[in-house]
């Protein structure tokens, strides 16, 4: 059973892990090293692909002065994989670590097995310490690894009567400035932003990420268009402001598999009602983020197309996880399926600060 010092160290390791990037092919991981009296001697976290893993970072922070018999407290099972960096399980063995405490096991078969390797070498290993928090930390990444496709967040904006545009096709702007700024935050938390060719041709979106002052973000997600129609050379998506990938296919499952092969683990879908309906019918939506504006249109296209639902009894019910006011609009975060544990609300948007108009 984990000691109180180990449990406290795990909470610190979780805080460290949360400092890592939410995007990229790797999980967020934190590690705290304790001496034989339960005192912290070093800590580290993974800072993104190509950088040292959390355990290696914590060991490196000791600058070669590594006392024997340490306890390593890690939010994820130490890996056995050699990729851009070496295997963490071997690094811990080489450092003479006596005990390892783990929150969550690694779902990636290419990297898992660290617990078994450590135990076979005589290291004490305890798993499942603050497991729920450890699993929640990397839920999107773990889901992507387990399913072989990215985590899919479907974002849409609509009036209170569910219209995504007016009868004449105009849709800028349904929501206010602060909600549109919040969409840029949401984009920045995903590896890719995806639309269909219909939206790309009709709306000519840029799909880039900008801050509240309208400045381009340092990291831009991959812009993905799915569909067989060609984009004109003058399309905003060809502006070079962010990478662009055009997947000329109508098979959404195959498109997501291709993105997974490119190490895309999270996708934000900003397509129109046809694409949204197709993804939903195929069971490819993991989360819905809806921005509702206090406005009525009475006519115009709906936010989602035909789902093949013919009666109220067959309605697709979602589990509501968060409700947040963003300026004069409301952001709803929900997921398909039965209710589960509700996490803390996402980081609040900058709704209290003056903002400039942004594209949503």
Separation CA 327–CA 294 (nearest Å): 11
Q: Is 55 annotated as catalytic?
A: yes
Q: What average pLDDT does the segment 356-360 reach?
A: 32
**CATH number for the domain running over 4-144:** 3.40.140.10
pLDDT confidence bin for 173, thresholds 50/70/90: confident
Q: What's the pLDDT tens digit per position in 232-279?
A: 999 999 999 999 999 999 999 999 999 999 999 999 999 899 999 999
Which residue positions form the known binding site for NADP(+)?
157, 173, 199, 272-278
pLDDT at 135 exceeding the cut of 90: yes
**CATH number for the domain running over 148-336:** 3.40.430.10
Which residue positions form the known binding site for substrate?
171, 187, 203, 207, 210, 270
3-state DSSP percent of the chain in helix, strand and coil, to 5 = 25, 20, 50
Q: How far is CA 193 from the centre of its chain?
A: 12
pLDDT at 354 exceeding the cut of 70: no
Write down the mean pLDDT value for the chain.
Answer: 91
- What value, to the nearest 5°, has the Cα angle with vertex 196 and ends 193 and 200? 85
**Per-domain boundaries in the chain:** 4-144, 148-336
Q: What's the pLDDT tens digit per position in 194-230?
A: 999 999 998 899 999 998 888 999 999 999 999 999 9
pLDDT of 216: 93
Which residue positions form the known binding site?
53, 79, 88, 157, 171, 173, 187, 199, 203, 207, 210, 270, 272-278
Which residue positions form the known binding site for Zn(2+)?
53, 79, 88
Backbone angles phi and psi of 204, in degrees to 5: 50, 55
Of residues 170 and 238, more confidently modeled: 238
Q: What average pLDDT does the segment 95-122 reach?
A: 94
pLDDT at 86 exceeding the cut of 50: yes
Quick check: 93 and 123 in contact, CB under 8 A?
yes
Residues 6 or more apart whose Cβ sits within 8 Å of residue 10: 2, 32, 73, 75, 101, 103, 129, 130, 134
Q: What's the pLDDT tens digit per position in 305-347?
A: 999 999 999 999 999 999 999 999 999 999 997 665 555 444 4
Separation CA 255–CA 251 (nearest Å): 6
Selecting among 6, 43, 55, 287, the annotated active-site residue is 55
Q: What's the pLDDT tens digit per position in 36-64?
A: 999 999 999 999 988 999 999 999 999 87
Q: Is the pTM of this model over 0.75?
A: yes
Q: Which two tokens stand for residue 96?
A: 């003479």
């Amino acid at each position: 059973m984990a000691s109180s010092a180990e449990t406290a160290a795990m909470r610190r390791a979780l805080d460290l892990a949360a400092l890592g990037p939410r995007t990229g092919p790797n999980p967020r991981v934190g590690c705290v090293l304790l001496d034989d009296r339960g005192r912290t001697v070093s800590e580290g976290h993974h800072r993104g692909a190509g950088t040292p893993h959390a355990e290696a970072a914590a060991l490196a922070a000791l600058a070669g002065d590594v006392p024997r018999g340490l306890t390593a407290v890690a939010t994820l099972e130490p890996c056995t994989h050699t990729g851009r960096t070496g295997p963490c399980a071997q690094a811990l063995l080489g450092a003479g670590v006596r005990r390892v405490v783990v929150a969550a096991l690694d779902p990636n078969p290419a990297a898992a097995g660290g617990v078994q390797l450590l135990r076979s070498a005589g290291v004490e290993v305890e798993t499942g310490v603050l497991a729920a928090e450890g699993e929640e930390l990397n839920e999107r990444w773990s889901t992507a690894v387990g399913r072989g496709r990215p985590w899919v967040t479907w974002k849409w904006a609509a009036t209170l009567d569910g219209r995504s545009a007016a009868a004449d096709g105009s849709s800028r702007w349904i929501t206010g400035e602060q909600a549109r700024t919040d969409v840029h935050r949401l984009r920045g938390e995903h590896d890719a932003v995806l639309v269909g060719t219909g939206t790309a041709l009709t709306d000519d979106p840029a799909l880039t990420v900008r801050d509240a002052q309208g400045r381009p973000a340092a990291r831009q997600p991959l812009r993905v268009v799915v569909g067989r129609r060609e984009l004109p050379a003058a399309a905003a998506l060809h502006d070079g402001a962010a990478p662009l990938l055009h997947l000329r296919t109508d098979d959404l499952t195959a498109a997501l598999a291709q993105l997974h092969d490119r190490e895309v683990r999270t996708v934000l879908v900003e397509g129109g009602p046809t694409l949204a309906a197709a993804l939903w019918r195929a069971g490819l939506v993991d989360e819905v983020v809806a921005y509702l504006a206090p406005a009525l249109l009475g006519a115009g296209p709906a936010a989602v197309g035909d789902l093949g639902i013919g009666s109220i009894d067959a309605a697709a019910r979602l589990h509501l996880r968060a409700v947040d006011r963003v300026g004069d609009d409301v952001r709803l975060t929900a997921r398909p399926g039965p209710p589960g544990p509700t996490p803390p609300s996402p980081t609040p948007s900058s709704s209290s600060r003056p903002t400039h108009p942004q594209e949503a």
